[in-house]
Amino acid sequence: MRVLEEPGSQPTATPCGCVKPALETGNLLTEPIGYLESCFSAKNGTPRQPSICSHSRACLRIRKSIFNNPEHSLMGLEQFSHVWVLFVFHKNGHLSCKAKVQPPRLNGAKTGVFSTRSPHRPNAIGLTLAKLEKVEGGAMYLSGIDMIHGTPVLDIKPYIAEYDSPQNLIEPLQDFNLQNSQYKPPNTSQANGKTDSCDQRQLSRCDKPQACSHTKEKPKCPEDRTSGENYMKHDNSTKIQQKFPQHREIAADLGLESRSDQSLSVAEERIGPCCLEKSISEEDTEKRLTVIAQGNSAEMHPVAPPCPSRMADAARHSVVPAWVREAPVATLEVRFTPHAETDLKRLSSEGEPDGSQPSFKYFQSAEEARHAIEAMLSADPRSVYRRKLCQDRLFYFTVDIAHVTCWFGDGFAEVLRIKPASEPVQMTDPEESLVSLGS
């Protein structure tokens, strides 16, 4: 194997004579394409991953200093449902990082920084998969985010399941004989030595059935999502998980359905939609999976003898260490005191004098705000330190215009008070106006 020599860190001179950090050395000078307007104003209480709170919303406006016509850069993006957001953890406080970190899920134990999603890494770059709600001019509206207000965004890329998810490989692996490693081409065009080009793959999404029949889902034509009216109040009821209702039922049948969606997604990811379908389509109704309850998590082991398709399924699905799935802390029950309930109602009706319009900037209703608060708290947003040593301390966070005060007891979080956020969010980019949170 060729060893790559580390290039010198000398800056290179461009033809025009100016000195720029060299791309070749990886010394990239970044310039944010925009600064995120997010419903989270501070790190405290912000979900640790985007999947935790589907109602969390944000807007990204492409800066005019990047493109004269920002809307040109977003052309075509509205045809995608999800985007990767690359951003800077600008509120890390410092640049240094450690080789080993303590992710909250490991409850104090250490692991290598590159095996985690820790914000503290050599290059403070974050990666979030967000739902793209709408594109409007030079702005895109996102949901399911875990970044705070003012986060500098470096890049946006469309999420393409066919490229980005092992579960969605274009070529089914059923014909891949794992024992003799002989690959049988799945169709004639490939048998002729031709493979689909990237462009063909993309175009085929709408025109013809996809090769992978995992989800039994009909391919969808992208709808024009530029025309919606008000993004921030967009109906966000369609969740990705709803694409697999049959899997939900089966998982429930297997005793995996839980109050949160966590165990189910574990089931789906562990054995995959294909396996789940197979386990009931076979006449033998004996459960082919053993469910071993471990605390609040469920682990599944296939007990049937491995068959080629099962092995192919295993090869197709991604693998993660157990600690990622087995949260050391239970999902918390979230309660609101009567006082907090009243606060929430008052806050949501303060927008209009007659109380007809909610005053939230990102949430559509008090109910949605409530769901978001529940989602954030049930995932226990406290640091390991706080969880272990400051159990009895009050916990505060701000989401949208709500400043939430709560406390944690054994297995629950209780919201005590919700008042209007008083601190306006500091702007990161002075040239551009961001949505200001707070009153």
Could you list the residues that contact ligand SAM (CB under 6 A)? 43, 46-50, 89-92, 117, 119, 126-128, 146-148, 151
* Spatial separation of the C-alpha atoms in residues 208 and 221, rounded to whole Å: 11
Question: Which of residues 28 and 95 has its CB atom nearest to ligand SAM in the complex?
Answer: 95
Residues shown for the chain: 439
Among 276, 221, 271, 223, which residue's Cα sits nearest to residue 245? 276
Q: How far is the CB of 151 from ligand SAM (least distance, A)?
A: 4
Residue with smaller CB distance to ligand SAM, 14 or 426 = 426
Instruction: Give every CB contact of residue 117 below 8 A, 6+ residues apart in sequence.
Output: 48, 49, 103
CB of 382 to ligand SAM, least distance (A): 11
Q: What does DSSP say about strands 57-61 and 37-38: parallel, antiparallel, or unpaired?
A: antiparallel
In angstroms, give the least distance from the CB of 45 to ligand SAM: 8
E-only strand ranges, 338-439: 395-399, 402-409, 412-420
Query: Closest separation between CB of residue 378 and ligand SAM, Å?
Result: 15
Cβ contact 365:358 at 8 Å: yes
For the bound state, the minimum distance from the C-beta of residue 118 to ligand SAM, rounded and expressed in Å, comes to 6
Rg (CA), the chain: 24
Please report where in the chains the tokens 């009895």 appear, as a residue. Answer: 392
CA–chain centroid gap for 284, Å, is 37
- Which is nearer to ligand SAM, 151 or 265 (by Cβ)? 151
CB of 57 to ligand SAM, least distance (A): 14
CA angle 314, 258, 378 (to 5 degrees): 110
Q: What is the dihedral of CA 424, 430, 431, 435, to 10 degrees?
A: -20
* DSSP characters over 283-334: S--S--EEEEEETTEEEEEE-SPP-HHHHHHHHHS----HHHHS-SSPPPEE
How many angstroms separate the CA atoms of 84 and 291, rounded?
34
Residue partners of 303: CB distance under 8 A and separation at least 6? 288, 289, 290
Minimal distance, residue 379 CB to ligand SAM, in Å: 10
Asked whether 316 and 169 are in contact (CB, 8 A), the reply is yes
- Note whether 40 and 23 are within 8 A (CB): no
The residue (of 38 and 236) whose beta carbon lies closer to ligand SAM is: 38
Count H helices and E strands in the chain, helices first: 11, 19
Q: Please, which residue, 149 or 233, has the CB nearer to ligand SAM? A: 149
Cβ count near 215 (within 10 Å): 17
The answer to whether the CB of 57 falls within 8 A of the CB of 362 is: yes
Shorter beta-carbon distance to ligand SAM: residue 128 or 364: 128
Nearer to ligand SAM, 14 or 383 (CB): 383
Residue placing its CB nearer to ligand SAM in the complex, 84 or 412: 84
312 versus 375: smaller Cβ distance to ligand SAM: 375
Nearer to ligand SAM, 108 or 219 (CB): 108
We find the least distance from the C-beta atom of residue 424 to ligand SAM, in angstroms, to be 17
Q: Least Å distance between CB 142 and ligand SAM?
A: 13
Provide, rounded to whole angstroms, the least separation between the CB of residue 152 and ligand SAM. 7
